[in-house]
Amino acid sequence: MPFVGQTAMIEGGPIRVALTVDRNGLFRAAAAETPADVTISFASDAPFKFLSDPGSAFAAARLTGAANFAETLAFVFRNLRWDYEGDLAVIIGDIPARRLTRLLSDSADRQRSAIRRLGANLTEYATEESGLLAANRDITQFCAAVDLLRDDLARFEKRVAKLIT
């Protein structure tokens, strides 16, 4: 409520949206000539980042303007979650909306799982079969052998130094 009438400009790539806080504490589209109290600037690739990882898109945003309004907006956007199931339920009903969102969620989970498995398979191929990369165990063994050689060399140098003196 302390920010009623204040305007935020959201910019990023081709997107430019001006929002004003109304007396109910909700965002409303602002008139084009309204000066912005806070400007939120995203990188040009933010829409793509938002699809894969919304947190990284918001983390890279740059806020300028009134500090207290910007801080409040950052808190709101950080904790903003769209209830798409509720919005869909208004259109097609509760049960179909629940089933559809469940189907989409399960499909997205399967896609993420498939991508993780593909990455694991490519890693295994690159380290085990093709020899393009060294496996972690081989690197660990090599480092241990280098450490042992360094210690043996230090002991040998001390023995030689004793023999010379």
Give the span between the Cα atoms of 134 and 138, in whole angstroms: 6
Reply yes or no on whether the pLDDT at 144 is more than 70.
yes
Confidence at residue 122, expressed as pLDDT on a 0 to 100 scale:
92
Reply yes or no on whether the pLDDT at 99 is more than 90.
yes
Higher pLDDT, 22 or 149: 149
Higher pLDDT, 116 or 74: 116
Q: Is the overall model pTM greater than 0.85, yes or no?
A: no
Confidence at residue 131, expressed as pLDDT on a 0 to 100 scale:
81
Which residue ranges make up each domain of the chain?
7-79, 82-133, 135-165
pLDDT in tens, 145-164: 999 999 999 999 999 999 99
Which two tokens mark 140? 């660990």
**Looking up tokens 């009903």, which residue turns up?**
93
- The mean of the pLDDT values for the chain is 86
**Looking up tokens 């050689």, which residue turns up?**
149
> Are 13 and 44 a contacting pair, CB within 8 Å?
yes
Give the span between the Cα atoms of 85 and 87, in whole angstroms: 5
Question: Between vectors from CA 10 to CA 9 and to CA 12, what angle results, nearest 5°?
Answer: 140
> Are 13 and 47 a contacting pair, CB within 8 Å?
yes
Give the span between the Cα atoms of 73 and 61, in whole angstroms: 12
pLDDT in tens, 55-90: 666 677 788 888 888 888 888 877 878 888 999 999
Q: How far is CA 45 from CA 35, 58, 112, in A?
A: 25, 12, 21
Give just the sign of the alpha carbon dihedral 15, 21, 27, 30. negative
Give the span between the Cα atoms of 125 and 129, in whole angstroms: 5
Confidence at residue 55, expressed as pLDDT on a 0 to 100 scale:
66
